[in-house]
Amino acid sequence: MGGNHITRRIGLAVLVLTGLLALSGMAGSASAATSCSQVPTVYGIPPWGFHTGSFTGESSFAKGHGEINLEANTVSGIICQQDRAGTVIMSVEHHLSYHSHYATMWGYPGNIMKIKVRVTSSSDPNCEVGTVGRATLYASYNGVRSDSVQFFFPAACKDQDHLYHGTQVNNQVPPL
Structure confidence at residue 19 (pLDDT)? 35
Instruction: Judge if 20 and 103 occupy the same domain.
Output: no
pLDDT tens digits along 98-117 = 999 889 999 999 999 999 99
Q: Are residues 17 and 73 located together in one domain of the fold?
A: no
In terms of domains, do 81 and 50 share one?
A: yes
CB atoms within 10 A of CB 72: 10
Could you give the dihedral angle defined by the CA atoms of residues 40, 46, 49 and 53, in that order, rounded to the nearest 10 degrees?
70
117 and 154 in a single domain? The answer is yes
Q: What is the band of 168 on the pLDDT scale with cuts at 50, 70, 90?
A: confident
Please determine, for residue 88, whether its predicted confidence score (pLDDT) is greater than 70. Answer: yes
> Are 158 and 138 part of one and the same domain?
yes
pLDDT of residue 96: 93
Total count of domains within the chain: 2
Close Cβ partners of 57 (under 8 Å, ≥ 6 residues apart): none
> Quick one: 27 and 113 in the same domain?
no
Task: Give 99: exposed, middle or buried? Use CB within 10 Å, 0-12, 13-18, 19+.
Answer: buried
SS3 53: coil
Task: Kindly indicate the confidence band of residue 135, based on its pLDDT and cuts at 50, 70 and 90.
Answer: very high
Report whether 99 contacts 121 (CB < 8 A).
Answer: no
- Are 119 and 149 part of one and the same domain? yes
User: Which pLDDT band holds residue 36 (cuts at 50, 70, 90)?
Assistant: confident
Q: For residue 77, is pLDDT > 70?
A: yes
Q: Are residues 96 and 27 in the same domain?
A: no
Same domain, 132 and 64: yes
| 8-state DSSP, 34 | G
Do 47 and 101 share a domain, yes or no?
A: yes
Q: Average the pLDDT over 128-157 and give the result.
A: 93
User: Are residues 19 and 46 both part of a single domain?
Assistant: no
What is the Cα–Cα distance from 62 to 80, expressed in whole angstroms?
6
Q: Are residues 128 and 50 in the same domain?
A: yes
The domain of 78 spans 36-172
Q: Could you give the angle at the alpha carbon of 34 between the alpha carbons of 48 and 153, nearest 5°?
A: 65
